[in-house]
Amino acid sequence: MRFIPALGVLIVAGLLAWFSFSTTTTYPIKLGLDLAGGTELIYRADTSGVTGDAQGALNSLREVIDKRVNLFGVAEPLVQLERSSAVAGAVEDRLLVELPGVTDVKAAVDAIGKTPTLEFKLESKNATAVIENGKTTLKMQYDDTGLTGRYLKKADLQFSGGTAGSVANEPIVVLTFNDEGAKMFEQITRDNVGGTLGIFLDGEAISTPVIREAIAGGTATVSGGFTPEEARELVRNLNFGALPVPIELVGSGTVGATLGADAFEAGLMASIIGFLLVTAFMILWYRLPGLIASVALVIYVLITIAVMKFVPITLTTSGIAGFILSIGMAVDANVLIFERMKEELRSGKGAQESVRAGFGRAWTAIRDGHFTMLISSAILFWIGTSLVQGFALVFGFGVIASLISAVFITRVFLLAVVPQNAGPVWHFLLETGLYRHKKSDNKK
């Protein structure tokens, strides 16, 4: 009966091996920018004009850019928000865009494209005096309403039919808001009948219609004197996503495909060398338990690879570092267990009894150690940048997988092979490399 759990573990290990190495097409391991090569773009997001939920506007910004990048067919893009310290201790919001496989910065910027900032503003009663060509004119001021491209559902191109007040076949853009935007638009028009609602695109007023009545249904018509080509481009850009906040490109960088391949090969080689050195030490020092721990370590690697492929997790150089470190954490738990087993053997207990007692006595220390490492990885992932997050994520999953391999799998295999009543040979196999078994002085 004690062989059944070990057999079950071997079957699961076989399935993991099949999934890890036979599904490279359907479930490939996703490589980060530093391993696959590509372009990184850093944009500064200006939320100074946002009234209300600034974080919600930033989330919408990320979704819009992610949608646009995917529309251009860039493989496995990464679009995420970061908060960075700027000059004089100020904090600014940034948008990080990683485009694997794109090594031309200009092509990457073109892939993002010019996405317009759409805003609806009410004309203020205040005006500013402006002197132009020696003449003083009044420039109207507009107040933010909070209604922006964030709430835009779609844009359509239509042509007017030449009705009263319009030009025949004039291109017009019909904006359709989502449910929340429709409610906001209806409320704005209801509360400001007789006022002027300015429609701004990238800070420039393209239409300033007078509100005649409350407009329900969530649609607005823009007729800004567009040519058909201008109207089509505006509709296309708006449908790609009107930005809820303005962005500015502040940094860019490229990683060549060759450099990325070299980094991946170096990381893979470091992982293999680290794995072989750890297993060699465990087998030479801990003999049979070390051999079983090495088998469990192989299963740990299979678990980690399967998680990376299935979740999936984008692997970066920092992620490889986290993986290598978690290998050491996996055998660290085994070291604690095997040292406890050695103490039990020295006290004169039987081999299998020593195995059970060793795992039982070491469990508390192993549990606390792994728990603190999980807390550390969670904090790093929460507050860290993308580079740190890659390390924290792989390391966190590795800690969980190492706990399973070191405590559960090693215990199952040891209890399956170690007999209840073991002789000197088994004692030799279960002891450390420099310790010679001595009969207990209490045995008479």
pLDDT (0 to 100) of residue 441: 41
Classify residue 419: in a domain, yes or no: yes
Cis peptide bond prior to 419, omega within 30° of 0: no
Regarding whether 165 and 62 lie in a shared domain, the answer is no
Do 150 and 16 belong together in one domain? Answer: no
Residue 364 belongs to a domain: yes
Q: Are residues 367 and 268 in the same domain?
A: yes
Whether residues 72 and 122 fall in one domain: no
Domain membership of residue 443 (yes or no) is no
Q: What is the CATH number of the domain that holds 127?
A: 3.30.1360.200
Domain boundary among 218, 253, 288: 253
- Number of domains, the chain: 3
The answer as to whether 436 is a domain residue is no
Residue pair 155/174 in contact (Cβ under 8 Å)? The answer is yes
Q: Decide: 427 and 437 in contact? Cβ < 8 Å.
A: yes
Same domain, 218 and 357: no
Positions of the chain with pLDDT lower than 70, given as ranges: 1-2, 51-52, 68, 70-76, 84-90, 111, 113-116, 127-137, 161-168, 224, 237, 240-242, 257-260, 384-387, 421-423, 426-427, 430-444
201 with 236, same domain?
Answer: yes
Choose one of 206, 227, 253: the last residue of a domain. 253
Examine residue 440 and state whether it is found in any structural domain, yes or no: no
Q: Residues 142-173: pLDDT tens digits?
A: 888 888 888 888 888 888 765 545 566 788 88
Residue 442 counted as domain residue: no
Same domain? 276 vs 424: yes
350-397: pLDDT as tens digits: 777 888 888 888 888 888 888 888 898 888 888 766 667 777 888 888
Q: How far is CA 74 from CA 37, 60, 102, 110, in A?
A: 13, 20, 8, 12
Q: Are residues 373 and 420 in the same domain?
A: yes
One domain, residues 219 and 289 = no
244, 269, 292 - which closes a domain: 244
Structure confidence at residue 204 (pLDDT)? 79
Question: What distance in Å separates the CA atoms of residue 290 and residue 294, rounded to the nearest whole number?
Answer: 6
Residue 435, in any domain of the structure: no
The dihedral through the CA atoms of 281, 398, 3, 422 has a sign that is positive
> CB-based burial of residue 165 (10 Å sphere; 0-12 exposed, 13-18 middle, 19+ buried)?
exposed
Which CATH number belongs to the domain containing residue 62 in this structure? 3.30.70.3220
Are residues 362 and 273 part of one domain?
A: yes
Instruction: Say what the pTM is.
Output: 0.57
For residue 70, the enclosing domain spans 36-116+249-253
Statement to judge: residues 206 and 83 lie in one domain: no
Residues 304 and 332 in one domain: yes
